[in-house]
Amino acid sequence: MEFPQQQKPAGDGKITYPPGVKEITDKISNDEMVKRLKMVVKTYMDMDQDSEEEKQQYLALALHLASEFFLRNPNKDVRLLVACCLADIFRIYAPEAPYTSHDKLKDIFLFITRQLKGLEDTKSPQFNRYFYLLENLAWVKSYNICFELEDCNEIFIQLFKTLFSVINNSHNQKVQMHMIDLMSSIIMEGDGVTQELLDTILINLIPAHKNLNKQAYDLAKTLLKRTVQTIETCIANFFNQVLVMGKSSVSDLSEHVFDLIQELFTIDPMLLTSVMPQLEFKLKSNDGEERLAVVRLLAKLFGAKDSELASQNRPLWQCFLGRFNDIHVPVRLECVKFASHCLMNHPHLAKDLTEYLKVRSHDPEEAIRHDVIVTIINAGKKDLNLVNDQLLGFVRERTLDKRWRVRKEAMMGLAQLFKKYCLHYEAGKESAQKISWIKDKLLHIYYQNSIDDKLLVEKIFAQYMVPHSLETEEKMKCLYYLYACLDTNAVKALNEMWKCQNMLRSLVKELLDLHKLPVSEANNTAMFGKLMSIAKNLPDAGKAQDFMKKFNQVLGEDEKLRVQLEMLISPTCSCKQAEICVREITRKLTFPKQPTNPFLEMVKFLLERIAPVHIDSEAISALVKLLNKSIEGTADDDEEGVKPDTAIRSGLELLKVLSFTHPTAFHSAETYESLLQCLKMEDEKVAEAAIQIFRNTGQKIETELQQIRSTLIPVLHQKAKRGTPHQAKQAVHCIHAIFNNKEVQLAQIFEPLSRSLNADVPEQLITPLVSLGHISMLAPDQFASPMKSIVANFIVKDLLMNDRSVGNKNGKLWTTDEEVSPEVLAKVQAIKLLVRWLLGMKNNQSKSANSTLRLLSAMLVSEGDLTEQKKISKSDMSRLRLAAGGAIMKLAQEPCYHDIITPEQFQLCGLVINDECYQVRQIFAQKLHLALVKLMLPLEYLAVFALCAKDPVKERRAHARQCLLKNISVRREYIKQNPLAQEKLVSLLPEYVVPYMIHLLAHDPDFTKPHEYEQLKDIKECLWFMLEVLMTKNENNSHAFLRKMVENIKQTKDAQCPEDAKANEKLYIVCDVALFVIANKSTACHLDSPKDPILPSKFFIIQDKDFKNDKEYLSTEMRQMLLTGKPKPAPVLGAVNKALTVPGRRIFTKTTTGSDTASNTSTNSSTINKNSNSNAVTESSAQENNENPVIQHEVGNKEEPSQNVTPEGDVTASPVKRRGRQAKSAAAAPVEKEVAPAVASRGRKRTADPNPNPSADSINIKMSKQQQQQQNDEGTKRQIDLQR
């Protein structure tokens, strides 16, 4: 378009002014000029485009107003009026402007643009004229004339800059609207937007500018929204230049591209339609920092509340998710942080995020694992439905993270969710049910070794699970129903927590008691021991010790502080008093005030653990009321999701536990009345718990509550005579604990029970036996003598030595308690009675202990079938073996009986841990561990765990190793904490277990061929099972001490059979294997030993100095085989599945499979078909109570008479070599019984029919010549010696 020729002004260029307006020249004053220009403005304002005559008349004036005189006039009022005139001239003469010169037009529009700056001051008297100017320009779209100018861009840039700079919060909507109209017309009607012009818009979106002028940002935002269709192409071109082509010089805004993308996306995603694919390219950049910047940007775009980018651009979303696995740590961290916003704003994307968060929850970087937890918990706190079970599962896993910071975050996060949704029910019961597992999981963490974990669980329990800030009734209701809903392990953890807190209170009390004594060296030593024990229960043991010493010093100097602390740990301290005491103690220790006071923090940890914030007399009373309501059926049990029976039982259990830790709080008639009601209930567990509460808390009943006493006594008598075994035990102990005339009371129970014993009715024997056993243990002076005749005439002769009934021949090695025959249950209680009777006497003057030990040994030798009449079932035999082994172990805890237990009896007891029945091994190992860890059993019994290396089940071996670690740790810690223990190192130092282990292994019944590789390999495994744990650290040169100890044993003789050359040779061979293992596992063992080891004379006889045993019992070839393993035999087809056989034991293989608890089918319940083919390949399932893997047997075995089938189809179990004591000669005892030549092998895998029921399938088992000889020798007899 070309500009039209400018019309000639009328009158040969003479300027015509509107009526009343004189000539405007530079000769007049400014005021006069303004006055005349106002009239000109009025004239042009009133003109319209149709006034052709006026347009022609005032054309010269229009040209005159565009002269340099006006455009450069220094007076701003003049300039404003001229600009208004020019704007009207463009309106009137549109579409043909009266100005033809391009330069003139440029000058005019730049002049007008400059005048628009006056819009900035809305309070100016001239603002309306400025607004009129803007309105006129916008309405007419006057600036569109500039499109034909070559350098129009300069004008537009200046205009845009001016408008964005003048806009402010004092402008109304109309101003902004006209600005938008003016600028949008330029963008939409032009041929495109140049980069410079685009920059003038986009610069207002950059955060720095945005914060400076929010109105400019809003103006740019509105402008972009209006022009999205036109400007999108220009924006895409800009980002393409910068992102893809890397031309950062195209714009000064290149370094702000990611900020701009975010803002543009917020304004309108359509602005970035072509830009998003470019971001996918950037996500795959080789530059980690660049990827990080893109990830940060996309995180904001995907996570924005109303963003639909993830669904609209799936490729970009998937590419972004891939950055969760980026090699650059900050990128992964940014992705994890994004997930929180994404879960909250876009729940539908949770499924996509779950798998990636799962991987990141195991990230090697602690910060990332931590942020995964924060992400999930924050989303869960906003709305539990935002996080699925899988996401919560990741948090659950991290509660066991190796890093404390991560564990703490996970535990605290779960605690907050529990309080919000389970305690306050903020999202209803359905949500509470969804996370009901949290309470159990948090308490399970109390099993962790770290004191930090334990302290955090205690804090969580006090603040989130049962908030101590609640009123007593509400607090106890929380505790009552929480306890009822916990799983078994969580209940144990909670009980342990209270126990630990109570123990710590006791330590503090003992420390305060020491402060009351005169100062002495012994007192200081005792005080130091208490401080060390307290410090062990606080975080960071090293600092805790120093701070506790300082705290102890403060206690010694400040009597008021001691008084407050005594009040805090007093049994009568209430929860409210405890808060006051803690506050007072803390206040005293805060002086002088410091920003951080680690000493005060440590003392707070101690105070938090010992302060009774939950339980006091008022709390116990509230619990009892809740229990009463449950009994009456008026409680909220169903509403709380707990059955009334469960609530009553768990409520009593809770009170029982608290009766141990807070016995004083129970002392009220109201509480005891309620407990008496519980004693009359049918639920056996409820009554048992009630009796135990009386036992723990009733010391003052006799003197202060006579009415309760008179009601309680007959109930206790009745329970001791006719209650359940557990009730009877508790009743006897209760009478003994709380009544002064206990002898009379116990006699009233003892006499009728002792007269009514009848072995023909075993169902009615169990409770009397329990009561009699505990009575004789608690009051030995009164009842030991009358009990002796009962033991001799009834327990041994009538009950244990007789089998009245025939057991269930179902072949199972273990059955449930309900399936055990009453007679066997009575025999088990009879064995326990013997032990209790002896433990009460605590002397062996009558040699009763010797006889009992021989009886128990015979029980083990006979596999539990003492009479050997084969009436008793396999599962019942397992019960009796377990009872006998446990009884010997119990007697060994009493020094006077430990001294008379022979090495043979010790070995028999130890071999129970290799029993053929899984449950026997399991329960025996647990009993052994508990007694050892309490330092109640002598050190030699720790050696028994070495035999667990032979256990075919992986879980049992792992459990045994954990027991060893725990016991060794406990013993080492005890020696450190108790200076006096140095005098008893022989019985405490874990290394001294080695002589007992070597002796035990040398007498292993399986160790029959001491030069055979397979047997030596077993010995090596057992030795290393123990030595591996002992040799973890070489403290005080312990490796050399172990070597020296074993070398010394080689210079002794076996005290068990000193003249038996073969037995001594086996002992020396085991020593050589031990030395071989130690030397191969330690480079420091050849150093000098710090001490000369002491060997137990009960097991080893020290020889004369002339005796020297320097023989090597292991050949070089055998050493090599033990080191590298036996070479594989040639692959002969017929021997592919052949298992090695060893005389004296059955074949077994270790298994690591998880299916270890199926049926307990006996290994001797297989049947044989008379017509079976002896050449057939037979496969038998080797069962460890159905736990062991299949064992293959070789082809072509001769059929052995391993089992006999009677005409009726009954099966007789095949006799096999047992693990245990060898049979005695006929002259060894006066009582002779004809038995099978050998009893089933103990503690070894045996073959068994996979079908527990007898069938006609044939089984061919290869047996050693020794076993065949034993089977064929049907005339063999053995003796049970009860007199030795």
Helix intervals (H) in 227-275 = 228-239, 257-267
Is the pTM above the cut of 0.75?
Answer: no
The span from the first CA to the last CA of the chain, in angstroms, equals 133
Q: What is the mean pLDDT of residues 141-158?
A: 81
Q: Say if residue 1170's pLDDT is above 50.
A: no
| C-alpha span between 731 and 748 (Å, rounded) | 13
Burial code (b: 16+ CB inside 10 Å, e: under 16) for 320-345 equals bbebbebeeebbbbbbbbbbbbbbbb
pLDDT in tens, 737-779: 988 888 888 999 999 988 888 888 888 889 999 999 999 999 9
Q: Say if residue 795's pLDDT is above 50.
A: yes
Structure tokens at 916: 């053929």
Q: Given this model, what pLDDT does residue 1169 score?
A: 38
Q: Given this model, what pLDDT does residue 13 score?
A: 56
| C-alpha span between 163 and 216 (Å, rounded) | 8
| C-alpha span between 875 and 224 (Å, rounded) | 86
Q: What is the mean pLDDT of residues 994-1015?
A: 91
Q: Say if residue 853's pLDDT is above 60.
A: yes
Range in 203-212, 228-237, 798-807, 1231-1240 with the lowest mean pLDDT:
1231-1240
Contact by Cβ (8 Å): 1211, 1170: no
Q: Given this model, what pLDDT does residue 1272 score?
A: 42
| C-alpha span between 893 and 1076 (Å, rounded) | 34
Q: Given this model, what pLDDT does residue 503 score?
A: 93
pLDDT in tens, 71-111: 778 887 788 888 888 877 878 777 777 777 788 888 888 88
Confidence label for 881 from pLDDT (cuts 50, 70 and 90)? very high
Q: Say if residue 1101's pLDDT is above 80.
A: yes
Q: Can you spell out the DSSP letters for 74-139?
A: S-HHHHHHHHHHHHHHHHHHTTS-S---HHHHHHHHHHHHHHGGGGG-TTSTTHHHHHHHHHHHHH
| C-alpha span between 1258 and 1179 (Å, rounded) | 10
pLDDT in tens, 715-744: 999 999 988 999 999 999 999 998 888 888
Q: Say if residue 832's pLDDT is above 60.
A: yes
Summary mean pLDDT of the chain: 80
Q: What is the mean pLDDT of residues 1182-1201?
A: 36
- Parallel, antiparallel, or unpaired for β 1232-1233 and 1204-1205? unpaired
Range in 165-169, 703-707, 1108-1112, 1222-1226 with the lowest mean pLDDT:
1222-1226
Q: Given this model, what pLDDT does residue 252 score?
A: 74
Confidence label for 276 from pLDDT (cuts 50, 70 and 90)? confident
What is the percent of the chain with per-residue pLDDT over 70, rounded to a whole number?
Answer: 86
| 697 vs 1186 pLDDT, higher one | 697
Q: Say if residue 894's pLDDT is above 60.
A: yes
- Helix/strand/coil (H/E/C) assignment for every residue in 855-904: HHHHHHHCCCCCCCCCCCCHHHHHHHHHHHHHHHHHHCCCHHHHCCCCHH
Q: What is the mean pLDDT of residues 1121-1143?
A: 47
Q: Is 68 exposed, middle or buried (0-12, 13-18, 19+ CB in 10 A)?
A: exposed
Q: Say if residue 1087's pLDDT is above 80.
A: no
Q: Given this model, what pLDDT does residue 307 score?
A: 82
Q: What is the mean pLDDT of residues 99-127?
A: 83
Contact by Cβ (8 Å): 1078, 1043: yes
Q: Which range is most confident: 50-54, 623-627, 1121-1125?
A: 623-627
Confidence label for 1247 from pLDDT (cuts 50, 70 and 90)? very low
Residue with tokens 């070398």: 1047
Q: Given this model, what pLDDT does residue 1222 score?
A: 40
Helix intervals (H) in 1178-1277 = 1265-1272
Structure tokens at 946: 């070495």
Q: What is the mean pLDDT of residues 276-283?
A: 80
| C-alpha span between 696 and 690 (Å, rounded) | 10
Range in 271-275, 369-373, 392-396, 810-814 with the lowest mean pLDDT:
271-275
Q: Say if residue 1203's pLDDT is above 60.
A: no
Q: What is the mean pLDDT of residues 408-420?
A: 94
| 282 vs 523 pLDDT, higher one | 523
Peptide bond into 592 cis (omega under 30): yes
| C-alpha span between 1073 and 213 (Å, rounded) | 86
Q: Given this model, what pLDDT does residue 129 score?
A: 85
Contact by Cβ (8 Å): 1240, 1163: yes
Q: Given this model, what pLDDT does residue 1234 score?
A: 32
Contact by Cβ (8 Å): 411, 456: yes
Tell me 797's DSSP state. Answer: I
Q: Given this model, what pLDDT does residue 246 score?
A: 67
Q: Given this model, what pLDDT does residue 1256 score?
A: 32
Q: Given this model, what pLDDT does residue 997 score?
A: 94
Contact by Cβ (8 Å): 552, 606: no
Q: Given this model, what pLDDT does residue 592 score?
A: 64
Neighbours of 597 (CB within 10 A): 14
Q: Can you spell out the DSSP letters for 572-591?
A: T--HHHHHHHHHHHHHHHTP
Q: Given this model, what pLDDT does residue 1126 score?
A: 52
Contact by Cβ (8 Å): 1082, 1030: no
Q: Given this model, what pLDDT does residue 852 score?
A: 92
| C-alpha span between 736 and 776 (Å, rounded) | 12
Range in 733-747, 884-898, 1160-1174 with the lowest mean pLDDT:
1160-1174
| C-alpha span between 636 and 474 (Å, rounded) | 13
Contact by Cβ (8 Å): 273, 232: yes
| 385 vs 1221 pLDDT, higher one | 385
| C-alpha span between 1098 and 1096 (Å, rounded) | 5
Q: What is the mean pLDDT of residues 884-912?
A: 94
pLDDT in tens, 607-616: 999 999 899 9
Confidence label for 985 from pLDDT (cuts 50, 70 and 90)? confident
Confidence label for 1246 from pLDDT (cuts 50, 70 and 90)? very low
Q: Given this model, what pLDDT does residue 206 score?
A: 86
Strand order in the sheet with 1179-1183: 1190-1192, 1179-1183, 1246-1248
Angle at 267 between CA 222 and CA 153, to 5 degrees: 55
Q: Say if residue 5's pLDDT is above 90.
A: no
pLDDT in tens, 1039-1079: 888 888 899 999 899 999 998 989 999 999 999 999 988 88
